[in-house]
Structure 1
């Protein structure tokens, strides 16, 4: 069973109700959601938890990775999360971060945040060589975004959970695309509150030949989360 409880945590009650009763794979739903959160809200909005709670997991992976230039990081279904911006502004290692989302409303908001429009101060990189971009794209079809093996780190915070609400075939297409654009020595991380007894068999089936492990995170606001790491894709 797909867990939905943390997908509606800290969301205004009326909107939370509409999310819980809707197909979370519907782009129009997210367009409305991001549009309603923007006025008077914080610059970013995070499902589950923010960058600060997982930087202890992410930064060692970046340090261990080997790349000729900035490490390429892809955040699929980034929404208006602070995960991309946190990496960009806080990582002491040079990173080239791309956030993709199928909602043009979310992408426009994050681009305005990056550029410092709407009265905001432009974001400053934690390393002078770091870069940050946002692009509208379907995470189930990343062909227009990147060639195979392009990223050393691929992040999915709740995107599998949302896509799977529309059916597991879509979730497996998402996983396949994430593994396709992952470099041979790279790491895919899925963040979720779904129990390992449910998620691990799906990941092992969809990523044969890869090493799949899980780390427990939290609890945050009383909820235990998991980081599912998929490594060794070829």
Structure 2
């Protein structure tokens, strides 16, 4: 995650933020909370880069992930439509890619605690003066974006209601605020996941670090990992938490 930040924003900008925290910082300041702070993400999603490209992805985008994702949607298509949740969706292309390119009916919900990100994605979905509204890959497909805290999905998702849940870097960001928050995120994802469903966490964190955390916090679920990439010289991992299939 830190590498992705450095690739996207000038190192000097990040360093300046760090310097501001070293002297006279107040509890609860933006830099204190770092990647777990919503205000930071509001600022990043409002970056001028968003004015020139419709979506922006940490790690990688839909094109790199679709080979892994499509078989799960094929398995779930009997549900018609398969329900997909992207937690901490930001301005990623995962939701829009699934909606516009999946040949099977999908009902996709992207949630993020940044109102800036949600507003941008709703504008992209509905179309604006620069772009047409997004067209679904299947007439029965649906796409929505809502502001919500991934650590408390009660307002937007009921228990066992999703067949596939995607987390691309959200655990990584939340964990910067402490592992209890990351475990609460995982608990909420598993609560709203169907007993036959799959949670996929995309990360560049090494399996030796991530797997023990997931296995300890996901008792009763099967945990595995697949290697992805390298993309732009970096190897990523897809951590799968699955129910009975």
TM-score, normalisation: structure 2: 0.89
Write out aligned runs for 1:68-147 (5 A).
Answer: 68-147=79-158
Q: What is the CA distance between 1:104 and its match in structure 2?
A: 0.3
Q: Corresponding residue for 2:54?
A: 43
Does residue 226 in structure 1 map to residue 224 in structure 2?
Answer: no
CA apart distance, 1:60? 0.6
Say what the alpha-carbon RMSD is for the aligned residues: 1.8
Q: In structure 2, how many angstroms separate the alpha carbons of the residues matched to 1:127 and 1:66?
A: 12
Which ranges in structure 2 are unaligned for 5 or more consecutive residues? 22-30
**Higher Cα radius of gyration:** 2
Q: Which residue of 1 aligns with 2:43?
A: 32
**Alignment counterpart, residue 193 of structure 2, candidates 177, 182, 192:** 182
TM-score, normalised to structure 1's length?
A: 0.93
Classify the secondary structure of the residue corresponding to 1:54. Answer: helix
Deviations 1:157-193 (A, max 9, x none): 0000000000000000000000000001000000000
In the alignment, structure 1 residue 205 sits paired with structure 2 residue 216 = yes
Aligned 8 A contact 1:80 1:110 in 2: yes
Would you say the 8 A contact 2:99–2:143 is kept in 1? yes
| Residues 45 and 116 in structure 2, CA contact (< 8 A), matched pair in contact too | yes
Task: Single out whichever of 160-169 and 110-119 deviates more from structure 2.
Answer: 110-119
What displacement does 1:67 show?
Answer: 3.9
Give CA deviations for 1:103-127 in whole Å, capped at 9, x if unaligned.
Answer: 0000000000000024211100011
Count of residues paired in the alignment? 231
Q: Which has the higher helix share?
A: 2
Deviation at 1:102, TM superposition (A): 0.1
In the TM superposition, residue 42 of structure 1 has moved relative to its aligned partner by: 0.6
Q: 2-side partners of 1:193 and 1:109: how far apart? A: 26
User: More displaced, 63-72 or 138-147?
Assistant: 63-72
Any conservation in 2 of the 1:70–1:95 contact (CA below 8 Å)? yes
1:69 and 1:17 mapped to 2: Cα distance?
A: 48
Secondary structure of the equivalent of 2:79? coil
Q: Distance in 2 between matches of 1:51 and 1:227?
A: 13
CA distance in 1, matches of 2:12, 2:95: 28
Question: What is the distance in 2 between the residues matched to 1:137 and 1:49?
Answer: 23
Following superposition, the deviation at residue 63 of structure 1 comes to: 0.4
Match of 2:25 in 1: none
Aligned to 2:6: 8
Deviates more, 1:59-68 or 1:45-54: 59-68
How has the CA–CA distance of structure 1 residues 68 and 60 changed in structure 2, closer, same or farther, with 3 Å as cutoff? Answer: closer
Deviation at 1:79? 0.3
**Contact residue 226 and residue 238 of structure 2 kept, 8 A:** yes
Please report how far the alpha carbon of residue 14 of structure 1 lies from its aligned counterpart in structure 2 after TM superposition: 4.4
* Equivalent-residue separation in structure 2 for 1:133 and 1:146 (angstroms): 13
CA contact (8 A) 1:214 1:227 kept: yes
1:69 and 1:76 map into 2 onto residues whose CA distance is: 21
Alpha-carbon displacement from aligned partner over 1:140-171 (angstroms, at most 9, x marks no partner): 00000111001000000000000000000000
Distance 1:204 1:110, change over 3 A: same
